[in-house]
């Protein structure tokens, strides 16, 4: 993580076995999501007292490199979207009580890799 004000890296940790391609933050629950060319999406929680990150869960169902992430949050629902090199968008829905994310399915329709995502209300 970079401090814009200071212009320097203020936090870094090893998260994946290949390039980290994207990050998304759920500020309400303090989660950081990362995606990678290694085909994984990981959910992290920061432990402030020890200044480290703990892996909370690895989100499955990506058979290829994951290029980008987008998070949709509302008072009633949180959904994480992941754009993959095979043209699919995977999504996971957060379970309110446990805060775990369960795979909700795939959005298909791209012929080539999904390189970026944005969420606006109920559109991805």
Q: Examine residue 75 and state whether it is found in any structural domain, yes or no.
A: yes
Q: Examine residue 2 and state whether it is found in any structural domain, yes or no.
A: no
What is the torsional sign of CA 11, 15, 24, 44?
negative
pLDDT tens digits, the chain, 124 residues: what are they? 788 999 999 888 888 888 999 999 988 888 899 999 999 999 998 777 676 788 899 987 767 999 999 999 887 789 999 999 999 999 999 988 888 899 999 999 999 999 999 999 888 9
- Report how far residue 110's alpha carbon sits from residue 71's, in angstroms, rounded to the nearest whole number: 20
Q: Examine residue 117 and state whether it is found in any structural domain, yes or no.
A: no
- Report how far residue 85's alpha carbon sits from residue 115's, in angstroms, rounded to the nearest whole number: 8
Q: Examine residue 35 and state whether it is found in any structural domain, yes or no.
A: yes
Q: Examine residue 92 and state whether it is found in any structural domain, yes or no.
A: yes
Q: Examine residue 4 and state whether it is found in any structural domain, yes or no.
A: no
Q: Examine residue 80 and state whether it is found in any structural domain, yes or no.
A: yes
Residue span of the structural domain in which 44 resides: 18-107
Q: How many domains does the chain have?
A: 1
- Report how far residue 83's alpha carbon sits from residue 89's, in angstroms, rounded to the nearest whole number: 5
- Report how far residue 100's alpha carbon sits from residue 43's, in angstroms, rounded to the nearest whole number: 10
């Amino acid at each position: 993580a970079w401090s814009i004000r200071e212009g320097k890296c203020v936090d870094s940790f090893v998260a994946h076995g290949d390039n980290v391609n994207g990050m998304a933050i759920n500020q309400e629950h303090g989660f950081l999501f990362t995606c990678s060319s290694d085909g994984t999406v990981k959910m992290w929680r920061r432990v402030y007292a020890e200044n480290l990150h703990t892996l909370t869960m690895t989100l499955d169902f990506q058979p290829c490199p994951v290029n980008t992430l987008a998070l949709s949050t509302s008072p009633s629902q949180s959904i994480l979207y992941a754009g993959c090199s095979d043209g699919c968008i995977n999504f996971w829905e957060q379970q309110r009580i446990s805060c775990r994310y369960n795979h909700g399915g795939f959005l298909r329709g791209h012929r080539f890799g999904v390189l970026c995502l944005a969420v606006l209300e109920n559109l991805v």
